[in-house]
């Protein structure tokens, strides 16, 4: 269709085509207003929306994990882009159906359990004790709010409980263990003899007539690779790195984003918690309140707050350090606690107990770090780099669209594209459809190689579609030279053909001798006495996973029936290395039952499989709307 438009782009025909195209596009536009799908969604699961932003964040995290795994910060995973995105989307959908299943089952993660989980994470600890300051610092440096992290932790803990609930329900009966011992762990007593194909090599002669006949019959095997070279133009955000930024713009950017450069107020405090949660009885609440008041009297009488916290506090995370909560910022603590701290001065102890959902607190404020805004001078270079990056990204998308339009509207040349955007074209050497192993070469990108050998480029001679080879990096190409596949001269492949024919013939002779010997052995003839180089191996017991005996021989032995009346069973088999083997099965015995540790591992494997089936059944019943294709096309 695109080719037809290109060929008939002038005169009345062009207007007819434009009108025909406009009608469905107009209707498509109306449909978008009538029943729009939000561009910000990647999927919906039973009506719950999964945001594109979170999806993109997870994709970036997955790529970073892969870079860490390969210990290469510069590795380009664009060739795996579709695979990574598919995996991340599947993970998001599975987590959502599991969360909904847990919620429908009435499962919840309480605040106390969540706190214990977070306090138990080694990364948030200093000297084996939870540090509020380190907690906030690590979250901030990773661009995550406490609220988002705690929601994710709550969900992760809930999903783990659900998984364990399903997986730990798996068990194996004694009958299953007996069957496993008698079948999967069975052992077989076998002996074998290998007839090496090379013993016939000296007898094989390959004539020129044989070579010519094989060459004609298999001509397609001996063709040169089809090759092309291409002219291409690439465009990336790096091409826009020299954007000029005015000083006033940098200062305006600083003022607009001043909140980002604030070091918020922080408090350092100790506390003593006397628990009286929402499930406490009235009597327990009264007792906790009385105990708090008694402690306050002791503090006011001069007793050490730190010593009392070590002895009486119910917050086991801070108890060992005398109630020390470290440094914490706004919205870190529950509201009544934070409100009390805000009203205090350094050195103050609360004049009365502070009631929260955890119980009653006595608080001592030890220090305050006031809010600080970093000055413009300290941040100028950072601001300039951020502004350049923002503007380069914005300019890239605008010019990238122009790049694509120019390549399409001028399909027979890249000249208009290079002149309009002041870009340079480059040319590759001839290459085949395997591309290049050089990771720095454009030909290492499978999408580029596929485009070079596409019909539009190779046969029609048009520019390729715009190809995204990395983030903010695109390329378009066209054919430069084409070298068709042709038959290689027989002289160039003669040695290869001789080797192939030799291999075939010695394999045939080894198999023929093996089958002859097998027939004679079954007729009770001791045939190996006539062959000095052929001897049965020592008999040995082998399991299904035995690695000492060649795998093909073990597999063949386990295909044979059970030995009866001490009579061996014989078979012959062609090996992958062209040799031939005779196999003798001499006995069969059941394996040992699994140990208790092995049974546990097996039950775990079964449980994990049952959990996978559980997830699959939830997904099958769920109403899932996948918008990812629409997002990728937009």
pLDDT tens digits, one per residue of 366-407:
999 998 888 888 889 888 888 888 888 788 888 888 999 999
pLDDT tens digits, one per residue of 21-74:
343 333 333 333 333 444 578 899 999 999 888 888 888 888 888 877 777 766
Q: How far apart are CA 335 and CA 77, in angstroms?
A: 45
- DSSP code for 567: B
Q: 227-245+379-483, what's its fold?
A: Chitinase A; domain 3 (3.10.50)
Q: Name the token pair of 230.
A: 């291409």
The CB-based long-range contact list for 396-400 (8 Å cut-off, 24+ gap) reads: 396/235, 396/236, 396/237, 396/240, 396/472, 399/235, 399/240, 400/235, 400/466, 400/474
265-370 CATH pick, 3.40.50.2000, 3.40.50.1220, 3.30.499.10, 3.10.50.40:
3.10.50.40
For the chain, percent of residues with pLDDT exceeding 70: 88
Q: 38-184+593-634, what's its fold?
A: Triger factor/SurA peptide-binding fold (1.10.4030)
Domain boundaries, the chain: 1-36, 38-184+593-634, 186-213+491-589, 227-245+379-483, 265-370
- Residues 548, 496 contacting (CB under 8 angstroms): no
How many other CB atoms sit within 10 Å of the CB of residue 568?
Answer: 17
- Of the candidate ranges 274-283, 303-312, 574-583, the one whose mean pLDDT is the lowest: 274-283
Continuous H helices in 472-593: 490-522, 551-559
Region 598-623: mean pLDDT is 83
Is pLDDT of 17 > 70? no
**pLDDT at residue 175, rounded to an integer:** 63
CA-nearest of 485, 501, 432, 576 to 218 is 501
**pLDDT at residue 22, rounded to an integer:** 41
- Of the candidate ranges 141-145, 384-388, 480-484, the one whose mean pLDDT is the lowest: 141-145
Q: How far apart are CA 240 and CA 230, in angstroms?
A: 25
**pLDDT at residue 180, rounded to an integer:** 61
Q: Name the token pair of 600.
A: 């546990």
Residue 371 belongs to what H/E stretch? none
Q: How far apart are CA 382 and CA 385, in angstroms?
A: 5
pLDDT tens digits, one per residue of 317-356:
788 899 999 988 888 888 999 999 999 999 999 999 999 9
Q: Name the token pair of 179.
A: 């069957």
pLDDT tens digits, one per residue of 437-475:
888 899 999 999 999 999 999 999 999 999 998 888 999
**pLDDT at residue 176, rounded to an integer:** 64
* 357 vs 507, higher pLDDT: 507
Domains 38-184+593-634 and 227-245+379-483 share a fold: no
| Residue positions counted in the chain | 634
């Amino acid at each position: 269709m695109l080719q037809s438009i290109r060929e008939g782009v002038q005169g009345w025909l062009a207007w007819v085509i434009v009108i025909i195209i406009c009608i469905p596009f107009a209707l498509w536009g109306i449909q978008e207003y009538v029943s729009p799908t939000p561009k910000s969604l990647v999927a919906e699961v039973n009506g719950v929306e999964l945001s594109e932003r979170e999806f993109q964040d997870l994709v970036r995290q997955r790529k970073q994990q892969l870079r860490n795994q390969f210990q290469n910060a510069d590795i380009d995973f664009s060739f795996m882009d579709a695979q990574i995105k598919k995996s991340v989307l599947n993970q998001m959908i599975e987590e959502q159906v599991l969360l909904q299943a847990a919620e429908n089952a009435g499962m919840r993660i309480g605040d106390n359990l969540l706190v214990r989980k977070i306090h138990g994470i080694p990364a948030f600890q200093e000297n084996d004790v939870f540090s509020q300051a380190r907690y906030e610092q690590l979250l901030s440096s990773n661009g995550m709010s406490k609220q988002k992290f705690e929601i994710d932790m709550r969900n992760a803990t809930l999903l783990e409980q659900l998984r364990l609930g399903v997986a730990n329900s798996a068990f194996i009966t004694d009958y299953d263990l007996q069957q496993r011992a008698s079948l999967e762990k069975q052992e077989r007593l076998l002996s074998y003899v290998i007839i090496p194909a090379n013993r016939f090599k000296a007898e094989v002669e390959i004539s020129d007539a044989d070579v010519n006949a094989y060459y004609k019959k298999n001509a397609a095997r001996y063709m040169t690779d089809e090759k092309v070279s291409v002219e291409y133009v690439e465009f990336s955000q790096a091409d826009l790195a020299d954007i000029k930024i005015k000083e006033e713009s940098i200062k305006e950017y600083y003022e607009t984003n001043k909140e980002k450069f604030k070091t918020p107020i922080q408090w350092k405090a100790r506390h003593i918690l006397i628990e009286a949660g929402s499930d406490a009885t009235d009597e327990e609440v009264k007792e906790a309140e009385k105990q708090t008041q008694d402690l306050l009297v002791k503090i006011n009488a001069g007793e050490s707050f730190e010593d009392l916290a070590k002895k009486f506090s119910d917050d086991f995370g801070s108890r060992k350090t005398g109630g020390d909560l470290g440094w914490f910022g706004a919205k870190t603590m529950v509201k009544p606690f934070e409100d009390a701290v805000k009203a205090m001065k350094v050195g103050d102890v609360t004049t009365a107990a502070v009631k929260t959902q955890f119980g009653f607190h006595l608080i001592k404020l030890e220090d305050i770090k006031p809010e600080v805004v970093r000055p413009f001078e300290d941040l100028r270079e950072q601001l300039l780099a951020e502004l350049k990056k923002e503007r380069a990204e914005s300019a890239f998308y605008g010019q990238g669209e122009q790049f694509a339009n120019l390549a399409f509207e001028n399909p027979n040349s890249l000249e208009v594209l290079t002149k309009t955007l002041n870009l340079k074209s480059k040319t590759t050497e001839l290459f085949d459809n395997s591309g290049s192993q050089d990771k720095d070469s454009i030909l290492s990108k499978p999408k580029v190689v596929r485009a070079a050998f596409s019909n539009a480029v190779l046969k029609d001679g048009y520019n390729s579609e715009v190809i995204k080879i990395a983030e903010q990096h695109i390329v378009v190409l066209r054919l430069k030279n084409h070298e068709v596949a042709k038959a290689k001269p027989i002289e160039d492949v003669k040695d290869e053909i001789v080797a192939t024919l030799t291999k075939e013939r010695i394999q045939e002779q080894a198999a023929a001798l093996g089958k002859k010997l097998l027939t004679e052995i079954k007729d009770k003839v001791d045939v190996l006495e006539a062959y000095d180089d052929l001897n049965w191996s020592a008999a040995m017991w082998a399991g299904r996973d035995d690695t000492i005996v060649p795998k093909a021989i073990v597999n063949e032995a386990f295909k044979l029936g059970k030995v009866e009346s001490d009579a061996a069973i014989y078979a012959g088999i062609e090996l992958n290395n062209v040799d031939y083997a005779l196999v003798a099965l001499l006995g069969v015995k059941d394996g040992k039952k699994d140990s208790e540790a092995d049974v546990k591992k097996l039950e775990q494997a079964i449980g994990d499989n049952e959990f996978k089936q559980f997830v699959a059944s939830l997904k099958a019943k769920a109403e899932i709307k996948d918008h990812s294709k629409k997002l990728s096309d937009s």
